[in-house]
């Protein structure tokens, strides 16, 4: 009997590895995960700023992508498709979380301030666990803090542009946005980052802490 | 380009190191304008900081956790090709022997098929005889079972009423069975509810 030939997957371009995955080759699935687990995890982590949650969302992203690998069309870059799903997963989570946050501020149907106060609740002050301390250190640099204060759509664009080194056209394809919108978002994101980092250049105490979107 | 400062989108063009038409005059302007040079330097600082943002390490074993949830589907044509590759001998001599064996067996099977095809009438006659024999055996056996279960009078009655009568009797039997099952289920449900 002749064994099935083993390919050197690490040296193949994405398109070939995806084609092998579409043929049901498990090593090709694993190679795609190996190639993109760090970038995808980094993007999602910076979007949601919670390591444990980012791990779950990264896992969900890969499960979604690889379960539907046969639907991938070769005319798009695989990485664009993957980042689009990762971004959607993160944005969906942020939207759900935003709804939860609103509910903490009291009933949306409250007709007076008293009723709103009566239906609201506050989060108890929490001491940071060692894991949270680690996260705070990881995401604690000035630039990371500034990124976290950007609107989610600006954040996705700026991370894809500067961390993933994507072109404007690729970002537009990844996020399903018009090219002009991507340019505007990146321009505004850079502008906001400049403002947020002004105190670093001036040696000031920095802007007050804010809950990221 | 000397009469005004750079617009924000023009600064962006320089930040992205765009080499398109119209970028050269912007560069020349920056060289001669301290204000624009300072704005560009400030923007470049942010971009440099962004470019140095690191990637984070995902959890160990992510691939295993993902693969536990992903069904790997092998299309039939790939499975067939793999089977052919797997069952093809590795050495050239064994491969030649296997090819010869396949040729001999293939020739024999083809010859046998052709021989049977040329004797179609004989084959049909034998098949018909065998089929008739099998049918009469089964009919006799079923008839004997019915006679043993219900007696010869019932069999005669059934033969008299014909196919419509048989269908009506069968329908009645089905309705009675269904009613019995539903009744039993109702009794079981109500007794469970009481307990």
Measured distance CA(A83)–CA(A93) in Å, rounded: 15
Name the residue among B46, B56, B82 with its Cβ closest to that of A41: B56
* B42 contacts A201? CB cut-off 8 A: yes
> CA–CA separation, A185 vs B47, rounded Å?
15
Residue A178 structure tokens: 């018009």
**Closest chain B residue by Cα to residue A192:** B46
Q: How many residues does chain B have?
A: 195
pLDDT tens per residue across span B67-126: 999 888 888 888 888 788 777 887 888 888 888 999 999 999 999 988 887 887 887 888
Residue B165 binned pLDDT confidence (cut-offs 50, 70, 90): confident
In this prediction, residue A1 carries a pLDDT of: 58
Q: Is the ipTM of this complex over 0.90?
A: no
Give the distance from residue B62's alpha carbon to the nearest chain A alpha carbon, in angstroms.
7
Provide CB contacts within 8 A for A42, sequence distance 6+: A159, A163, B54, B55, B56
Name the minimum distance, in Å, from the CA of B61 to any CA of chain A: 11
| pLDDT tens-digit series, residues A170-184 | 999 999 999 999 999
* CB-based contact A66 B12, cutoff 8 Å: no
Least confident of A20-34, B20-34, B45-59, B100-114: B20-34
Q: Has residue B21 got a pLDDT over 80?
A: no
**Which band of pLDDT confidence, cut at 50, 70 and 90, is reported for residue A132?**
low
In the numeric block, the tokens 């009797």 are attached to B169
Of A24-33, B91-100, B165-174, where does the model show the most confidence?
Answer: A24-33
A75 has a pLDDT exceeding 90: no
pLDDT band of A102, cuts 50, 70, 90:
very low
Helix or strand holding residue B25 (H, E)? helix B23-32
Q: Around Cβ A24, how many Cβ atoms within 10 Å?
A: 18
Question: pLDDT grade, residue B1 (50/70/90)?
Answer: low
> What counts of helices (H) and strands (E) characterise chain B?
8, 0
CA–CA min distance A10, chain B (Å): 15
pLDDT value at residue B137: 92
Q: How far is B98 from chain A (nearest CA, A)?
A: 12
Residues in chain B within 8 Å Cβ distance of A55: 58-59, 62
Q: Does A180 touch chain B (CB under 8 A)?
A: no
Residue B66: per-residue pLDDT: 93
- Write out the two tokens for A165: 């080194």
By Cβ distance, the residue of B42, B82, B85 closest to A194 is: B42
A116 pLDDT higher than 50:
no
CB-CB neighbors (< 8 A) of B46 in chain A? 190, 193-194, 197
A chain contacts of residue B50, beta-carbon cutoff 8 Å? 143, 147, 158, 161-163, 193
- Residues in chain B within 8 Å Cβ distance of A159: 53
pLDDT number for residue A133: 54
How many CA atoms are closer than 13 Å to the CA of B110, on its beta-carbon side?
6
Q: For residue B8, give Cα distances in angstroms to A132, A190, B14, B27.
A: 38, 10, 10, 14
The helix/strand/coil state of B143 is helix
Interchain CB distance below 8 Å, B56 and A59: no
Residue B76, pLDDT score: 82
- CB distance B62–A143 less than 8 Å? no
Q: A24 and B78: CB-CB below 8 Å?
A: yes
Please say if the pLDDT value at position A211 is more than 50: no
In angstroms, rounded to a whole number, what is the distance separating the alpha carbons of residues A109 and A119? 10
Task: Inspect the interface and report whether the beta carbons of B78 and A186 lie closer than 8 Å.
Answer: no
d(CA A139, CA A155): 14
Question: pLDDT at position A140, please?
Answer: 55
**CA atoms within a 13 Å half-sphere pointing along the CA-CB vector of A105:** 7
Long-range contacts of B84-93 (CB under 8 A, 24+ apart): B85/A2, B85/A4, B85/A5, B86/A1, B86/A2, B86/A3, B86/A4, B87/A1, B88/A1, B88/A2, B89/A1, B89/A2, B90/A1, B90/A2
Chain B residue with minimum CA distance to A168: B16
**Closest partner CB to A190 (pick from B46, B57, B88):** B46
Averaged pLDDT of chain B: 84
**Residue among A4, A33, A158 minimizing CB distance to B62:** A33
CA-based nearest distance A35→chain B, Å: 11
Contacts of A48 in chain B (CB under 8 A): none
pLDDT in tens, B131-153: 999 999 998 898 888 788 878 88
Q: How far apart are CA A31 and CA A27, in angstroms?
A: 6
**DSSP type of residue B28:** H
- CA dist., res. B102 & res. B15, Å (int): 69
Per residue, what are the HEC states of A86-137? HHHHHHHHHHHHHHHHHHHCCCCCCCCHHHHHHCCCCCCCCCCCHHHHHHHH
Report the alpha-carbon distance of residue A193 to residue A143 in Å, rounded: 8
Instruction: Write down the pLDDT at residue A10.
Output: 84
What's the CA gap between B132 and B4, in Å, rounded? 105
Question: What average pLDDT is seen over chain A?
Answer: 79
Q: What angle do CA A192, A209, A98 make, to 5 degrees?
A: 80
Note whether A19 contacts B: Cβ–Cβ < 8 A. Answer: no
Q: What is the DSSP string of A156-175?
A: HHHHHHHTS---HHHHHHHH
Q: Do B51 and A193 touch (CB under 8 A)?
A: no
Determine the Cα–Cα distance for residues A146 and A162; give it in Å rounded to an integer.
14
Percentage of chain B lying above the pLDDT 70 cut:
95
Q: Residues A45, A148: contact at Cβ < 8 Å?
A: no
Q: Determine the pLDDT at residue B68.
A: 93
Match 């896992």 to its residue by tokens.
A59
Would you list the DSSP string of B47-71?
HHHHHTPPPPPPPTTHHHHHHTT-P
Contacts of B87 in chain A (CB under 8 A): 1
> pLDDT > 90: what percent of chain B?
22
């Amino acid at each position: 009997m002749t064994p099935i030939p083993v390919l050197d997957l690490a040296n193949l371009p994405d398109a070939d590895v995806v084609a092998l995955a579409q043929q049901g080759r498990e090593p090709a699935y694993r190679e795609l995960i190996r190639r993109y687990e760090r970038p995808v995890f980094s993007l999602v982590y910076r979007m949601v700023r919670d390591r444990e949650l980012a791990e779950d969302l990264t896992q969900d992203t890969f499960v979604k992508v690889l379960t539907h690998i046969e639907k991938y069309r070769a005319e798009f870059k695989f990485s664009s498709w993957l980042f689009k799903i990762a971004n959607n997963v993160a944005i969906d989570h942020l939207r759900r979380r935003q709804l939860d946050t609103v509910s903490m501020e009291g009933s949306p149907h409250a007709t007076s301030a008293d009723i709103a106060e009566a239906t609201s609740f506050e989060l108890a002050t929490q001491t940071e666990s060692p894991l949270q301390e680690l996260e705070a250190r990881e995401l604690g640099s000035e630039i990371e803090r500034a990124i976290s204060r950007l609107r989610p759509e600006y954040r996705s664009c700026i991370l894809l542009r500067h961390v993933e080194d994507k072109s404007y056209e690729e970002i537009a394809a990844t996020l399903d946005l018009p090219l002009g919108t991507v340019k505007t978002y990146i321009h505004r994101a850079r502008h906001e980052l400049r403002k947020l980092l002004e105190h670093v250049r001036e040696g000031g105490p920095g802007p007050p802490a804010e809950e990221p979107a | 380009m000397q009469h005004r400062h750079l617009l924000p989108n023009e600064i962006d063009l320089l930040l992205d190191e765009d080499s398109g038409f119209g970028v050269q005059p912007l560069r020349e302007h920056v060289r001669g304008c301290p204000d624009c040079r300072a704005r560009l330097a400030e923007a470049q600082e942010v971009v440099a900081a962004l470019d140095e943002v690191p990637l984070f390490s995902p959890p160990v074993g992510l691939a295993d956790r993902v693969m536990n949830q992903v069904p790997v589907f092998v299309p039939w044509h790939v499975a067939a090709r793999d089977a052919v590759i797997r069952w093809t001998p590795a050495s050239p001599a064994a491969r030649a022997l296997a090819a010869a064996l396949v040729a001999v067996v293939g020739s024999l099977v083809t010859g046998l098929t052709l021989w049977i095809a040329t004797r179609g009438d004989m084959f049909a006659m034998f098949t018909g005889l065998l089929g008739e024999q099998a049918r009469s055996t089964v009919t006799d056996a079923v008839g004997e079972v019915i006679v043993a279960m219900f007696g010869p009078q019932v069999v005669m009655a059934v033969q008299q009423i014909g196919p419509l009568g048989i269908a009506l009797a069968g329908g009645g039997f089905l309705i009675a069975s269904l009613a019995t099952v539903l009744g039993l289920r109702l009794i079981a449900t109500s007794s469970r509810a009481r307990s």
